[in-house]
Structure 1
Amino acid sequence: MTRMVGCWSLVLAGVLALAVQVLYFSPIDPIIILERPPKASPFAVNNHLQSVTKLGEGILKDPEDVCVDKHGTLYTASRDGWILRLHRNGSWEHWKNIHSPTMLGITVTTQGAVVVCDSDKGLLKVTEDGVTVLVSQVNGSTLSLADEVVEASDGSLYFSIASTKYGLHNWYLDVLEARPHGQLLKHNPSLNETTVLLDNLGFANGVALSKDQDYVLVCETWKYRCLRHWLKGEKKGKTETFIENLPGGPDNIHLAPDGSFWVAMFQVTHEKMEFVHSSKVLKHLVASIPRLTKLMGGMTKKAMVANVGSDGKIMKIFDDSQGKVMNFVTSALEFEGHLYMGSLNSNFIGKLPLRSEF
């Protein structure tokens, strides 16, 4: 009897310890619902991304995004704080050191300046003369987790805030909480004015303008969809779903020369850990133990990019189903018949020829 009482005491102590862990140490306020992609994909595995050429291997560290200027020079931001550029002759240049490991989306303006999203510092403008902070606050609140940016023909900058609650170092807590903290913003440089176009987005990530710039797209990573916000025409000011039920969480999105879009996707949750999203208690437990939180992500296990038409339909998908060469692809940019891909888990940029057989 004494042994049985002791066992029950241990069980009760364990339950109480779990309750304390959940109630007092969890940093999230979760809801149970998390929209996840369908298990089956209409596209067969092709592993085309295993055929990439590795650019800058060993020079770069987790280059999240890529962009190309009017001269054909490629730019990317590295985790070691450098903005590097690849010249036409194939040589790499360590161009500017921002002294920040948190740079994400990057674009080149028509005036030749580089604009980069720094998840800690905000929206930055980089030129030969140095670095200027364009936006660090909106409506009195400090920017957190600025993610991707694109420039319109009038000089306006559209950019995303992935989460107003969590930063880059603990971004997965936003997924576990599954509450919409993301935003789409517009910055007018001439007026030095920044406005919020869309609020309450599910981890707002990639941003792209249409070929005619009559609408802007923004990706919601843990909702596995992209939204379309109309800037011109009869639907001006309205927002609708552009594409949903993507086979992975959409990261950056880039306009292709033909008016379609390239969407980089990753596996948001490890397949063996998906059950966690069905329970608030499990979410609290995982969120309060950093080691468990790290186990949740499946983003380094595979790679996938999709070419999506202006009608919102997927036309083709390229992948590396086991992540043998490319994994955690975060951006895909088409330039002169090739696809250039950034990754937050690689020391190179992948270059894939867009051959007719693809």
Structure 2
Amino acid sequence: MAPGLLAAAAVLAAVAASLAAHVALNCPVQPVPSHRPPPTPPPNNLLQRLEKLGEGALDAPEDVYVDAAAGGALYTATRDGWLQRMMHPNNGSWERWRFVGGTGLLGVAPSADGTMLVCDADKGLLRVGDEGVTLLASEVEGSPIRFADAAIEASDGTVYFSDASTRFGFDRWFHDFLEFSSTGRLLRYDPRSGETSVVLDRLGFANGVALPRDEAFVVVCETMRCIKVWLKGDKAGEAETFVDLPGWPDNIRLGSDGHFWIAVLQLRSPWLDFITRWTFTKRVVASFPALSEWSKGAAKGAMVAQVSEDGTILRVLDDSQGKVINFVTSVTEFNGDIFLGSLATNFVGKLSLARVAQKQGAVSS
């Protein structure tokens, strides 16, 4: 072999050895092979028609709650530790309503006593009201709640909420995506006893939680699908697939017509598809923080799905390239409009459903 080729081979071997050593010493994940999501339906870009509420006033509003009793007042939590409120979505502005603190405020949901349930990814399940902030649950059965994500209160006061991952916190969610481990949990908080218990574990990034009108079951979203756990009837306690989705489902909310609206993250790109194909490439990316951050930003697009109570996908709305809104994490319907939260925007999106044709975006489950 020519001396030049020998030198090049020696350099490549040294680089490979250095890379292997770096990964061995610094890789924070223990990855398993990822599953491929169902095919994405043809884009319709109907989300590009939305209105931006309070653009520039919000820092990554992950979830949105609409108070129907207050005429449609909007609530959201932002990265500066505030719960924010817009009393009049048609002509109002955002106001700082309650200060909670921290950067990990995620799901917001109403409680029958007039307070607000808030999932603080770092602290756990909180109750926020006029008298301040109360920590309801920070551990379950001796295990810390590492990533409280979304909550819903049943008519008897029981709170169902998700712990997305027992491995990684909110600031390291991408590591959980790369690792593809199933350590998330659906939890139950009993306000009478003050105790928290595990309803379902081994979930792949447990996320949104919702109840149908009759509360016969509870739905929890995880990687590429949502699962329902029966609460009543002969199947009480049993879990089964509710719906498979073309992406990674995030928050889910019950609509006024009894159907559910689900935010579906589009964590797809040629680069992400490449690195998630093998466990070694996952380990390499996770071992370099700058590469991990760049990889997170490689995915573009937004999607929401309307799903019937029996798990049939009724329609899908999207912004396929994320030109107007990207990384939608929640969708809430009220009075013919949907309101969109996102960790990648500085506004809440509002879209009139009257502006989009029912047949557009329809897919079969």
Q: Same fold per TM (> 0.5)?
A: yes
Does the alignment pair 1:25 with 2:23? no
Does the alignment pair 1:270 with 2:269? yes
Give the TM-score normalised by the residue count of structure 1. Answer: 0.94
> For residue 233 of structure 2, what is the amino acid of its counterpart?
G
Alignment of structure 1 residues 291-310 onto 2, 5 Å: 291-297=290-296, 301-310=300-309
Q: Partner of 1:227 in structure 2?
A: 227
- Out of 329-338 and 1-10, give the one that drifted further: 1-10
> For residue 194 of structure 1, what is the amino acid of its counterpart?
T
Q: Which secondary structure does the structure 2 equivalent of 1:339 belong to?
A: strand
Check whether the contact 1:299–1:328 (CA below 8 A) recurs between aligned residues.
no
Separation in 1 of the partners of 2:139 and 2:6? 58
> For residue 137 of structure 1, what is the amino acid of its counterpart?
E
Does the alignment pair 1:312 with 2:311? yes
Q: Which secondary structure does the structure 2 equivalent of 1:341 belong to?
A: strand
Q: Which secondary structure does the structure 2 equivalent of 1:115 belong to?
A: strand
Report Cα offsets for 1:104-141 as digits up to 9, x if no partner: 11101111101111111111110011111111111222
For residue 91 of structure 1, report the CA deviation from its aligned partner: 4.1
How many aligned residue pairs are there? 352
Report Cα offsets for 1:197-246 as digits up to 9, x if no partner: 0111000011111111010011113xx100010000111000001111x1
Check whether the contact 2:38–2:247 (CA below 8 A) recurs between aligned residues.
no
Check whether the contact 2:208–2:252 (CA below 8 A) recurs between aligned residues.
yes
Structure 1 331/85 Cα, relative in aligned 2: closer, same or farther at 3 Å?
A: same
Does the alignment pair 1:247 with 2:249? no
User: What RMSD over aligned residues (CA atoms) do the two structures have, in Å?
Assistant: 1.6
Check whether the contact 1:267–1:297 (CA below 8 A) recurs between aligned residues.
no
> For residue 325 of structure 1, what is the amino acid of its counterpart?
V
Instruction: Find the partner of 1:48 among 46, 55, 60.
Output: 46
Does the alignment pair 1:65 with 2:63? yes
> For residue 26 of structure 1, what is the amino acid of its counterpart?
C
- The runs of 5 or more residues in structure 2 that have no matched partner are 359-365
Q: Partner of 2:14 in structure 1?
A: 13
Separation in 2 of the partners of 1:124 and 1:299? 33
> For residue 317 of structure 1, what is the amino acid of its counterpart?
V
Check whether the contact 2:306–2:316 (CA below 8 A) recurs between aligned residues.
yes
Separation in 2 of the partners of 1:24 and 1:91? 50
Q: Which secondary structure does the structure 2 equivalent of 1:148 belong to?
A: strand
> For residue 61 of structure 1, what is the amino acid of its counterpart?
D
Does the alignment pair 1:87 with 2:87? yes
For residue 257 of structure 1, report the CA deviation from its aligned partner: 1.4
For residue 22 of structure 1, report the CA deviation from its aligned partner: 2.3
Separation in 2 of the partners of 1:129 and 1:62? 26
Q: Which secondary structure does the structure 1 equivalent of 2:293 belong to?
A: helix
Separation in 1 of the partners of 2:301 and 2:344? 11
Check whether the contact 1:300–1:345 (CA below 8 A) recurs between aligned residues.
no
Separation in 2 of the partners of 1:357 and 1:15? 54
- The runs of 5 or more residues in structure 1 that have no matched partner are none
Report Cα offsets for 1:15-69 as digits up to 9, x if no partner: 211221222211111112x12223352xx42211111111121211110001123
Separation in 1 of the partners of 2:10 and 2:320? 48
For residue 298 of structure 1, report the CA deviation from its aligned partner: 5.6
Instruction: Find the partner of 1:217 among 207, 216, 219.
Output: 219
Separation in 2 of the partners of 1:271 and 1:5? 34
For residue 294 of structure 1, report the CA deviation from its aligned partner: 2.0
Separation in 1 of the partners of 2:337 and 2:275? 39
For residue 4 of structure 1, report the CA deviation from its aligned partner: 4.3
Check whether the contact 1:227–1:243 (CA below 8 A) recurs between aligned residues.
yes
> For residue 315 of structure 2, what is the amino acid of its counterpart?
K
